[in-house]
Amino acid sequence: MCLPCGPFIVVIITYLPGRLPPLTPLFEQMPLFMVRWSNSVLWNAMIYPLLNMTIKGAIWYQGEANTVFNKDKYACTFPTMIDDWRAAFHEGSGGQTAADFPFGFVQLSTFQKISRNNGFPDIRWHQTADYGFAPNPRMKNTFMAVALDLPDEGSPWGSIHPRDKQDVAYRLTLGARAVAYGEKGVSFQGPFPTKVLLSGKTITITYPEAISVTRSKTIFEICCSKSKKSCGPDSQWVPAPIIKLGQSSIQVSTVFCEEIASGLRYAWRDWPCEFKACPVYSADGELPAPPFTLNLWPWNGGPKNISAKGSSRQGSNSS
């Protein structure tokens, strides 16, 4: 069997390897969490038996439980798991499965409409190894379907399991066509900013392509600090209303910050918008912008390019 051939395997798991957390009120409605698994039961039962198959790639849908357990390790454990799977399938298939096979994943959707818990936005960010998009330098040959704009409060399985899988599947197929099959001219990622400019009481966010925007007073937030440093525990996030739109840019106001704007973030909440109604999409309105968070300091006075992980933001521009 040739390397480009074989199926995609689809994996829907609730918890990334490790001991399951104790039940919390957040997940009491989920009977799945009444089951206690050992560290490796999912791998041994569901994945290991498939290692001698030749596959084209994998699609992964997981992360909800890690919003309350081992959350801060996810940016490390998830990319490492992808590396391990690639090595295991390559070896198990006698080299027939590519050593860097394409890996697609679904960024978490929503759970609670009113929530002050940052678990979901944090995990969405960590799912990209803190870059905000995929593929990226740490997660090469990957693709991501953003799902934060597909909430389903009335789902019979609970809002954490939204019923609209068609749009998720469509967004995954775009990524697979572009990344896995190398199809040219396929747009598979929502808008992600390339630079920001802080000027007076405004911040201008610039995107690399045309965007479709609906005005919002709350979807962008700035971190208000007392000093010119990264946003810390003593800082406060306040709304940054959209005040001006360009073909590929958005200008927000910092009027609600009487101190120093030290950070900027977008859609940083569990339930950022109603169904397909987030403020920023691709020009055709098809693909939602993924959430992001960035530090504005240190600042050199000019446009801040979003290009170096750990400097301009907690991630970097795509490779």
Whether residues 38 and 153 share a domain: the answer is: yes
| Better pLDDT: 166 or 319 | 166
Structure tokens given for 121: 């936005």
Whether residues 17 and 129 share a domain: the answer is: yes
The predicted model scores a pTM of: 0.85
pLDDT digits (tens, 9 = 90+) for 100-124: 999 999 999 999 998 878 999 999 9
Mean pLDDT of 83-108: 97
Q: Does 187 fall in a domain?
A: no
| Number of structural domains found in the chain | 2
- The parent domain of residue 292 ranges over 195-305
Distance CA(292)–CA(124), nearest Å, equals 9
Whether residues 21 and 169 share a domain: the answer is: yes
Tell which of 126, 156, 180 closes a domain.
180
Distance CA(298)–CA(265), nearest Å, equals 16
List, in sequence order, every beta strand (DSSP E) within the chain. 8-12, 57-61, 103-106, 142-145, 195-199, 202-206, 211-213, 220-225, 236-239, 242-245, 249-253, 260-266, 280-282, 292-295, 304-305
Q: Does 109 fall in a domain?
A: yes
Query: CA 283, 289, 293, 299: dihedral to nearest 10 degrees?
Result: -10
For a pLDDT cut of 70, what percent of the chain falls above it? 81
Helices 119-126/74-92 angle, 10° precision: 40
pLDDT of residue 69: 86
Mean pLDDT of 50-79: 92
Range from 44-58, 63-77, 293-307 carrying the lowest mean pLDDT = 293-307
Q: Does 2 fall in a domain?
A: no
Whether residues 225 and 289 share a domain: the answer is: yes
pLDDT of residue 5: 56
pLDDT of residue 38: 66
| Better pLDDT: 303 or 124 | 124
Residue 197 has pLDDT above 50, yes or no: yes
Tell which of 180, 214, 244 closes a domain.
180
Please, what is the average pLDDT of the chain? 86
Beta bridge partners of 205: 196, 250
pLDDT digits (tens, 9 = 90+) for 208-238: 999 999 999 999 999 999 888 778 888 999 9
pLDDT of residue 244: 96
Q: Does 66 fall in a domain?
A: yes
Whether residues 78 and 164 share a domain: the answer is: yes
| Better pLDDT: 11 or 271 | 271
Q: Does 313 fall in a domain?
A: no
Whether residues 257 and 171 share a domain: the answer is: no
Mean pLDDT of 49-65: 92
Whether residues 207 and 160 share a domain: the answer is: no
Residue 147 has pLDDT above 90, yes or no: yes
